[in-house]
Structure 1
Amino acid sequence: MNVLEQEFIKGFVRMCSDGFAQGWHERNGGNLTYRMKDEDIESVKNAFSYQRDWYPIQTEVPYLKGEYFLVTGSGKYFRNVELDEEANIGIVEIDETGTKYRIVWGLKNGAVPTSELPSHLMNHEIKKLVTHGEHRVIYHCHATNVIALTFVLPLKDEIFTRELWEMATECPVVFPRGVGVVPWMVPGGKEIAVATSQLMKKYDVAIWAHHGIFCSGADFDLTFGLAHTVEKSAEILVKMLSMSSTKLQTITSDNFRDLAKAFQVTLPEEFL
């Protein structure tokens, strides 16, 4: 069966195109990874090649041993994914020690996985454990308005969460656990991977200061929708701050409590 005709491949490619259309992936910015299901692997395993070398992940992810991931490539443009899938994305296998990977499909002509692979895999491992396997998608994008806010708001979880919640009524329902904030760090290294993985034990969204959004979800629609909601709320906040530094009215703490009751979600009191 044609690999490119599989629904999980189509969903992955569509998410890349949708992110580019939003303006979140200038040049080769951003990355996307998907932890494949058994049925996904079964549907394409005849196309796998095991001839390529194993490479160190630069971190240890023992709970991901033997897993397969669909990933974007390092230096690749999201714009080009739909134009040539095999050149820009690929499937990697994690070895039995959780310390190495090899490419089994795609990423042709010597391409390699995203440089953020250590961050993605460390956070996949965390989300696999805390969601009991439900979460499968990790997405990083350069959401414009979120980045802008990291220059003017204190880099604190409770402040970012409360401000984003107040901008749109749906926000506490879409991300009821809030958002975490990582101060600026060099991208692609172990330090930012560790800092993000600590936040991902509690949140589904981490904001990387002056860099963008890093988020997790169960599938492509939910994960993209999460990033889209956070960025839309940030856009409203940017516009509101450009008009006035004072809110004449807003959603109050008691309003949030009423909302939580109506939608049967739990909102941490630390953000209220």
Structure 2
Amino acid sequence: MTSFSDSKYVQKVCEITQASYQEGWDERNGGNVSLRLTADDVSEFSDLNHVKRTLDLGFDASALAGEYFLVTATGRYFRNVIHQPNLDLGLVRITSDGQHADLLWGYDDGAQPTSEFPSHLMSHIERLKVDANQRVVMHCHPTNLIALSFTHELNEKSISLLLWKMQAESLVVFPEGIGVVPYMTPGTNEIGQATATKMHDFRVVMWPHHGVFGTGTTLDETFGLIETVEKAATIYSQIGAQGGQIKQSITDDQLRDLAKSFQVTANPHFLS
């Protein structure tokens, strides 16, 4: 039987973490990603039958009991994951009490899941209420979106409209807009819960002056969502670099036509 180390899941996380690092979104040990797997997904791997150790979650994840997560380790560098996935990634299964996770593969040098893992689990729980196919939570530090959080009012409607109008693809890719939480200390359950609350309505949430949380059904979709948000923020940054004088722009009516053409529903609270 195939070793989990050689699985498409490990290979894809390696690919995405490397791409995210190459984009400049994950300096040093910044960023983390988790991929939810099902029992069917892991059933073919014979090397997952032994619990290596049991980890304390510090959070009640009983809503996800029995679910499997491939998750990056705390303190590790995205640029290295592709070279040493057995050290920088771990496959865990949430225990029946929801307070712990059994480590089945990875973290070979004693590593632990990312400190943001409770925040990931909270977002997984909330997004599964909206979309049963949701599998991915990704946190990273897109440069231009972070810059935007310093120069623009932290208002979801205003930021969403701005990003929608920077390029036609934005409205198509994230028609619900972007959620925003206040600045909060990262790595805490408080920011995790605030983010999860926003995840009821949004698939991408800005952490001002820090980064972004994105979700999706696949790693590619989630990466592409963040990529599109960051591209729009980059265009806005370039406008500023060119003097900031906007002489023409996508209008609200054109956004409505765009939504109709691509059969998406723009957030009615942002675009009536």
TM-score (norm 2): 0.96
**Structure 1 residue 45 displacement after superposition:** 4.8
Q: Deviations over 1:41-96 (max 9, x none)?
A: 112253342141341x2222222011110000000111111111101101011011
CA distance in 1, matches of 2:30, 2:52: 29
Q: Please give the alpha-carbon distance, in whole angstroms, between the structure 2 residues aligned to 1:184 and 1:242.
A: 26
- Structure 1 contact 8–40 (Cα < 8 Å) conserved: no
Cα separation, partners in 2 of 1:29 and 1:162, compared to 1, 3 Å: same
Letter in 2 for 1:36: L
Aligned to 1:271, what secondary structure does the other structure show? coil
1: CA distance between counterparts of 2:51 and 2:38? Answer: 19
CA distance in 1, matches of 2:21, 2:195: 24
Residue 248, structure 1, aligned to residue 235, structure 2: no
Between 1:97-106 and 1:139-148, the stretch displaced more is 97-106
**SS class of match (2:150):** coil
Matched, 1:165 2:161: no
- 1:120, CA displacement in angstroms? 0.2
What is the identity, as a one-letter code, of the residue corresponding to 2:75?
Answer: G
Q: For the structure 1 residues 48 and 77, does the alpha-carbon distance in structure 2 shift closer, same or farther, using more than 3 Å as the test?
A: farther
SS of 2:80's partner is helix
How many residues were matched structurally?
A: 270
Consecutive unaligned residues of structure 2, counting only runs of 5 or more, are: none
> What is the CA–CA distance in structure 2 between the aligned matches of 1:170 and 1:76, rounded to whole Å?
33
Q: Which residue of 2 aligns with 1:137?
A: 136
Q: Deviations over 1:143-202 (max 9, x none)?
A: 000000000011111111011100010100000110001121110101100110010000
Structure-2 separation of matches of 1:3 and 1:47: 8
1:69 is matched with 69
Separation in structure 2 between the aligned mates of residue 95 and residue 45 of structure 1, nearest angstrom: 20
**Which residue identity does 1:14 align to in structure 2?**
E
Which secondary structure does the structure 2 equivalent of 1:254 belong to?
helix
Give 1:30's aligned residue.
Answer: 31
RMSD: 1.2
The residue type equivalent to 1:120 in the other structure is H
Unpaired stretches in structure 1, ≥5 consecutive residues: none
Deviation at 1:9?
Answer: 1.5
Cα deviation for residue 37 of structure 1 reads 2.7
d(CA) in 1 for partners of 2:44, 2:77: 27
What is the aligned partner in structure 2 of residue 216 from structure 1? 215
Q: Which residue of 2 aligns with 1:197?
A: 196
Distance 1:111 1:59, change over 3 A: same
| Counterpart residue number, 1:126 | 126
AA in 1 matched with 2:73: G
Q: Is the 8 A contact 1:48 1:105 kept in 2?
A: no
How far apart, in 2, do the equivalents of 1:216 and 1:178 lie?
A: 13
TM-fit CA distance, 1:245: 3.6
SS of residue in 2 equivalent to 1:150: helix
Instruction: Give the whole-Å Cα distance in 2 for the aligned partners of 1:5 and 1:110.
Output: 21
Aligned match of 1:112: 112
Cα separation, 1, equivalents of 2:27 and 2:211: 12
Q: Please show how residues 183-194 of structure 1 align to structure 2 within 5 Å.
A: 183-194=182-193
Sequence identity percentage: 41
**Could you list the per-position Cα deviations for residues 79-128 of structure 1 after superposition, in whole angstroms to 9, with x for gaps in the alignment?**
11111110110101101122221211101111000000110001011111
2:98 maps to what in 1? 98
State how far apart, in whole Å, the 2-side matches of 1:197 and 1:54 are: 22
Per-residue displacement from partner, 1:209-241 (whole Å, max 9, x unpaired)? 011110000001100000111111100011112
